[in-house]
Amino acid sequence: MLLGTSCQLGQSSPPEVALDNLACVRADLPQDYSPQASGSFSLGTLADLASDPAARRTELHASGVAGGYFSTWRQAVGEPPFPPAIDVLCQVIRFNSADQAKAFVASLQPTLTSLEDSTITWVPRSSNGQVEEIATGQSSLPAGARAFHLASANNETSVAVYAVFAATGPYVQTVWAGDSVDSATLAQAATIEAAIAGRAVSAGTPTSATP
């Protein structure tokens, strides 16, 4: 459901914080989840996955994107008959400044295209896809975070996903959690987001990603 992409080396992260430590690590996920794929990506990698790569490349460059890192995880579902496994994607994008990271989160639109074009992930593109933005004031999400519920299907598959985005210093950290039967929860995604955002704060993220 959450499809990793071929990894390309992005620009180097600032020396204060390693990007792979700002996506999910083993301690952020329940014990019944196992790692699937991970790696660095460049602005070009992210743009190439968009519906209009050339236009998206221009937008990402103007937004200050300087590279990122992702990791994916899958739930173990036990004995047959196997229920659908929940997939989790964690991602961090490095920007040239904290203001650019905050603006990137603020610019997200509650549409499949906007959210997919901002993440190393895949959900079925279809005319009946639905996205709802969820109020986050009463959740455990960091201040300024945004949360969405997505549902999309085509002739081959269907998914329902919670996606959360939060800016911490010059980094945007994203968590997607979902499966084909909508058994993931916002609380699950929010708990993971809080863990990775908290680690960024503890590491003392700089206000600028330029060394």
- Assess if residue 115 is contained within a domain: yes
DSSP 40: E
Look at residue 1 and tell me if it is in a domain: no
Spatial separation of the C-alpha atoms in residues 104 and 83, rounded to whole Å:
36
**What is the reported pLDDT for 125?**
65
With respect to residue 82, please indicate whether it lies within any of the assigned structural domains: no
Would you say 116 and 99 are in contact if contact means Cβ atoms under 8 Å apart? no
- Residue 123 domain boundaries: 19-76+101-202
- Structural tokens at position 184: 């993931």
Number of domains into which the chain is organized: 1
Q: Kindly report, residue by residue over 170-193, the tens digit of the pLDDT.
A: 999 999 999 988 999 999 999 999
Q: How far is 128 from 150, CA to CA, in rounded Å?
A: 11
Q: Amino acid identity, residue 34?
A: S
Which pTM was predicted? 0.85
Q: Is residue 2 in a domain?
A: no
Per-residue pLDDT of the chain (211 residues; tens, 9 = 90+): 544 443 444 444 444 578 999 999 999 999 999 999 999 999 999 999 888 899 999 999 999 999 999 999 999 987 777 788 999 999 999 999 999 999 999 999 999 889 989 998 767 666 677 899 998 765 678 888 999 999 887 777 788 999 999 999 999 999 999 998 899 999 999 999 999 999 888 876 655 444 3
